[in-house]
Structure 1
């Protein structure tokens, strides 16, 4: 298998084909000089937990786009996100952010999600139809992030649209047009949050920006541009991944009507359903690592400098880990999906994402019990690393 095969649009419509192909080709697949692909659960989990399999983001940018492009503001900004760092800098920035982020308990955020979700449904429930992606799944998490940052919800659409443009720089399929739009979008976000941070200095509020400004560890504080980059990261991670996961869950459940009926009969199963939907059809399909040293993983040797493409979606469908992985079963009690990653880069906001997904399903089941997708109108986003839809028409 070669890397370009991961980009095939046929896998957007049926990723199970890719998962089977990866499984059949073995735990480590040579995909070029110093390039390895793996969809094996044991290998992927081990490498995610191995600090020798780290990040080398700027080197990958220079390799993909050239030295001059790597100096653009969008890449300099992303390089300050803890997501792309290795220890000790990763530990420093993540630790400072966690001190603020963890002050917000999940229950108030869950209640916030209930309020926002019901308000969104109020706007279209009488129509009998809507685009669930554009009118519910995408606005829900972005409005919650706006509230957490105490920015006007009227700005949510503009900020969310910009975040969606920036996130494309992480996709191997990015075009020159996408790259130009990502640069413009990053400038929009940078200017917006630059002004916001300046206005919040000295603020005693409990919004995340104010907390980021006040948080310190032995005199160490987040710098101005570090705050901007990592607030942008919150928008990207909390918006695109959760929104697409809500849509994937809805489609997965409607593709498995017996499981949907089971959930409708007993909404206490919603947390289990969310867990299984995350495994069954994850929004984050792929993560990238570099072997920072020679690695021996489960008897397989990986030389230093190897580029590692770890396919989370395939790992979540590994038949050596999950019984009948292509079957969605909300009563499944085996294994742990890798949809939120593992190790030091495990998703910091996973509890919030779970809460938002649980609330979203609860609201849809209760308020739109007859809702069903119009499959002919579903538009997949055809990205290699972030699986989801741009349009999900539904009727009831």
Structure 2
């Protein structure tokens, strides 16, 4: 097995048959020089919580692209985010970021999410048909994060395009030269834009996340401009790509399970359970990466220091060793069913609360506004050609 295994058209359309074969083939399989891959829940869950496993992002870049690639702008930009750091640097940044998401910011989130959803659905109006992805799922998180950052929503489209090009650099399969050049230009575009925003907030603070990051302080520790820029880019990416794709994935899953869709229509109060199960069933985030910082032995496999492990969380969330009938969408699994949709350990998703809120509001509002909506053709969907982030390019809907 090698990186190319995760780049076939069949994989992008439906990765789950390959995930099943991968789980059955063994606990950890070689996928490249000093690199392993796993799709088993128990292993991924344990390694995400093991402090001997950490982030060596640039090392994983070397494994895929070679030594020279680590100087590329996109990889440098991503390496400066707290997502790619280990303690104590990670601890410092995460503490400051969590402090910036103060009570007022959390309070604003629900108001902003609900208002944005209503406005987008009003734009769709009574059209006989629409594209759920381009007209709702994609602009919803973009406009929400723009409002939370207090930047013009008119800038969101261009920034969203840049974010989509940059996030391709997270893929397990190496990008070709053209895609890598696009990702580099996207990183530079986002850096230039948010550096200007930071300068404006230093001069004129507001009641937004960027202003909070500029002025946050913890026992005399503050964030540098470089740290703010990189992590605002991360917030924008996380608030854009993951949620928009997850809304599309959830609606595809519901349309393919009409009994579950009808149950949700009849009983909107089960929305939280439905969202949790949709995220387990077909998460937009399909993979995370960790490196052994010390020797780790797990299920008879020794991970020497420097060993990179590509953890297929999408495969783990369908592991039959953990989930009964994992390929079925089941809202009755109970409140304590595990899921790796938001990762785990010290790198558990900082924006999980906002993402769940967006998902719940999005599905609730769609079903309330268009209770009889149906997809055009579920057998002709085009999926993004990515192996770390799963989602459909379009989902045509009849009202």
- Give TM-score scaled by structure 2 length: 0.95
- Whether the 8 Å contact between 1:276 and 1:329 is mirrored in structure 2 is yes
**Pairing of 1:221-236 with structure 2 (within 5 A):** 221-236=222-237
**Pairing of 1:287-298 with structure 2 (within 5 A):** 287-298=288-299
The equivalent residue for 2:395 is: 392
Counterparts of 1:5 and 1:119 in 2: how far apart (Å)? Answer: 42
Counterparts of 1:74 and 1:41 in 2: how far apart (Å)? Answer: 30
The equivalent residue for 2:308 is: 307
Query: Equivalent of 1:347, from 339, 346, 349?
Result: 349
Return the offset for 1:298. 4.1
Q: 1:105 to 1:266 in 2, by over 3 A?
A: farther
* Range moving further from structure 2, 269-278 or 300-309: 300-309
What per-residue deviation string (whole Å, max 9, x for no partner) do you get for residues 235-268 of structure 1? 1111100110000000001100011111111000
Is there any run of 5+ residues in structure 1 with no aligned partner, and where? none
Counterparts of 1:237 and 1:75 in 2: how far apart (Å)? Answer: 16
Instruction: Determine if the alignment matches structure 1 residue 53 to structure 2 residue 53.
Output: yes
- Give TM-score scaled by structure 1 length: 0.96
The equivalent residue for 2:20 is: 20
Return the offset for 1:325. 0.3
- Whether the 8 Å contact between 2:285 and 2:388 is mirrored in structure 1 is yes
Is there any run of 5+ residues in structure 2 with no aligned partner, and where? none
Q: 1:74 to 1:14 in 2, by over 3 A?
A: closer
Q: Aligned residue pairs: how many? A: 396
Instruction: Determine if the alignment matches structure 1 residue 378 to structure 2 residue 396.
Output: no
The equivalent residue for 1:212 is: 213
Return the offset for 1:65. 3.0
- Whether the 8 Å contact between 2:291 and 2:306 is mirrored in structure 1 is yes
Counterparts of 1:100 and 1:33 in 2: how far apart (Å)? Answer: 40
- Whether the 8 Å contact between 1:110 and 1:359 is mirrored in structure 2 is no
* Range moving further from structure 2, 150-159 or 345-354: 150-159
SS of equivalent to 2:127: coil
The equivalent residue for 1:359 is: 361
The equivalent residue for 1:80 is: 80
What per-residue deviation string (whole Å, max 9, x for no partner) do you get for residues 285-342 of structure 1? 1111111111022443222221101110111111110010000011212521101000
Return the offset for 1:159. 1.1
SS of equivalent to 1:59: helix
What per-residue deviation string (whole Å, max 9, x for no partner) do you get for residues 56-113 of structure 1? 1112223433444322332222221011111111111111111102434545312211
- Whether the 8 Å contact between 2:13 and 2:382 is mirrored in structure 1 is no
- Whether the 8 Å contact between 2:245 and 2:284 is mirrored in structure 1 is yes
Counterparts of 1:277 and 1:187 in 2: how far apart (Å)? Answer: 35
SS of equivalent to 1:37: strand
SS of equivalent to 2:288: strand
Return the offset for 1:154. 1.2
RMSD between aligned alpha carbons? 1.6
Counterparts of 1:351 and 1:23 in 2: how far apart (Å)? Answer: 30
- Whether the 8 Å contact between 2:3 and 2:172 is mirrored in structure 1 is no
- Whether the 8 Å contact between 1:106 and 1:351 is mirrored in structure 2 is no
**Pairing of 1:1-396 with structure 2 (within 5 A):** 1-104=1-104, 106-173=106-173, 174-333=175-334, 335-374=337-376, 375=378, 378-396=381-399
SS of equivalent to 1:391: coil
Counterparts of 1:286 and 1:52 in 2: how far apart (Å)? Answer: 19
- Whether the 8 Å contact between 2:105 and 2:209 is mirrored in structure 1 is no
- Whether the 8 Å contact between 2:27 and 2:299 is mirrored in structure 1 is no
Q: 1:127 to 1:272 in 2, by over 3 A?
A: same
